[in-house]
Structure formats: C-alpha cells, structure tokens
Structure 1
Amino acid sequence: MLCGAPSGPQPATAETQHIAEQVKSQLEEKENKKFPVFDAVEFKSQVVAGTNFFIKVHIGDNHFVHLRVFRSLPHENKPLSLSDYQINKAKDDELTYF
C-alpha cells in the first residue's frame, strides 16, 4: 500500500466492527436518530498522519451508510473521530474517498 493512497476494498473484520461501534454514537447524534442495526460490511484504510478508515455499514433493510473515521497516531492518545459520513447509500455503492 502506498502512503496516502487508500487500500482496496476488503471485507469488514472484527476490528472494523469495533471501530464503527466506537463512532456510532457520534453518527446518531449528528443524524438525531438511533440505529438498531449497525453492521460493518466493507472497509478501506488510508495511512496519513494516523489512519483514515472508510467503512460501509448496514443500518437495516436495504440501507447503508459510509463512514470516514480517523484514528490518530498511538502516542497522541486521542479517541476515534467520525470525520465525515454519507447517508442513503445502497449495498452496491462503491466505497470511495469523501
């Protein structure tokens, strides 16, 4: 993987699900709604001064959301942050940089 270039899409892992769950409350607050289903299905990562994770999350029925989550470098000791998100996504929508 090139530094700065996002990885190719990969199936979500237990770590990806854990990352998504850690920012779920941030998304719920921004959208002013609860998501009873919140299953990470796919992700890409991008190494910057930390790591950006682009995660496709199933939120019920045929509805998906794309998250961009930033994980700072370990020595900074900062929590994960929801940098951006896209709602109204479909299962087949490509996970792209946003």
Structure 2
Amino acid sequence: MTAMPEVEFDVHWPDGRSEWVYSPSLVVEDVFAAGHPYPVAEFVELARSAMATASDRVQARWGFPCSRAAATLARIEHRAAGFADGEVTVVAFRRR
C-alpha cells in the first residue's frame, strides 16, 4: 500500500504570526480556500471537520485513527483560544 497523501497549510493568525500546519489528508484543500480569511471560531470549526475527515480516511485505510490529525486539531484549538476575535487566513498549501 502506498502512503496517504499529506499536506501542510500556511496559516496566518490574528496576531500576525504564521505557521505551517500538518494534515494527513488533502481534505484541507477542499475545506479551506487559499487566501481566504476566516473568523477564528469558523476556522476552528472547519479545522475540526477537516481533521475528523482526515482521521477517518486514515482509519479506513490503515485500521486506526490518525493521532497526528488529533494533535493538529489540539494545536489549532490551543492557539485559537488566545483570540477573542479576528481572522485566520489560510495562505497556501504544500503537498508532502
């Protein structure tokens, strides 16, 4: 079996910081639009959906959920908790 397609996405937070965020699936390319700003709460909800779908895809393929998808979501939720408002922009995608 071949590996799952992976992607990282460049996220710019309301405080101006940016980071590359990991996804074990290309689903994030369907959920987020590059260059589009999202209110923080919406970004988190979309990330929850994307990481759940990514983990489900890993489980369907390999028989277990993806711990890296869970870790990505935890990191996003932790980072987003520091913002009462503002927007998060997904700048670009980078397939691995």
User: Does TM, scored on the shorter chain, surpass 0.5?
Assistant: no
What's the TM-score once normalised by structure 2's chain length? Answer: 0.29
Decide which structure has greater helix share: 2
More strand by share: 1
TM-score of the aligned structures, taking structure 1 as reference length? 0.29
Highest RCO, 1 vs 2 (Cα 8 Å, sep ≥ 6): 2
